Amino acid sequence: MRVLVGCEFSGVVRDEFIKRGHDAWSCDILPSETNQARHIQKDVRTVLTEEWDLGIFFPPCTHLCVSGARWFKNKKEEQQQALDFVSRLLVSPIKHICIENPVGVISTKIRKPDQIIQPYQFGHGEQKTTCLWLKHLLVLKPTKIVSVREQRIWKLPPSPNRGMERSRTFQGIAEAMAHQWGTILES
């Protein structure tokens, strides 16, 4: 199966699909932290019309998530551009699609998410409410619910890499995506 993981610099999700034998590629305007040979460094919109079976997208949440709501009135144009970007991903010709983003304006301006997940449902003792908008995909089933529920991501101190660290996909969620969605063409 050909998998496009858009707006992913870390390679976490891409690498889980590769481990399961898929032809998986990450695409981001940033270079990949790992496996440059399986990374397309450009705007993901330029590769949407290639032959992909599954697209998993992590659009930047800067102008979309509710944690930045106090600045929404001053960045209406940026927010509309971000919403247009998400809409473009959702209507791409890829049959199976997941859009991942925190709670925010996608829910009110485009549509409600199909699923809301937490890292603690996938083996991480952390809380980070994450929405999934799905197209021709089943909701993810929790794989390992843990009782510790810390808000480590929210508490990260200011730093030049804070945004990148906050956007990194948890390993357990990446494994669940690859394991559960990696068989969609078999059914």
Contact 97, 59 (CB under 8 A): no
Instruction: For 110-124, write each residue's pLDDT tens digit.
Output: 999 999 999 999 999
Q: Spell out the residues 6+ positions from residue 155 whose beta carbon is closer than 8 angstroms to its own.
A: none
Res. 162: pLDDT tops 60: no
What's the CA gap between 162 and 116, in Å, rounded? 23
Q: What is the DSSP letter of 35?
A: -
What's the CA gap between 173 and 65, in Å, rounded? 20
Q: What is each CA distance from 155 to 128, 165, 166, 167, 178, in whole angstroms?
A: 11, 11, 10, 13, 29
* pLDDT at 152 (0 to 100): 60
Q: Could you write out the DSSP letters of every residue in 121-156? A: GBT-SB---EEEEEES-PPPPPSB--S--B-TTTTP
Instruction: For 69-126, write each residue's pLDDT tens digit.
Output: 555 566 778 888 999 999 999 999 999 999 999 988 889 999 999 999 999 999 999 8
Res. 154: pLDDT tops 90: no
Q: What is each CA distance from 106 to 100, 111, 144, 162, in whole angstroms?
A: 10, 6, 28, 23
% of the chain beyond a pLDDT of 90? 66
The residue ranking higher by pLDDT, 45 or 105, is: 45
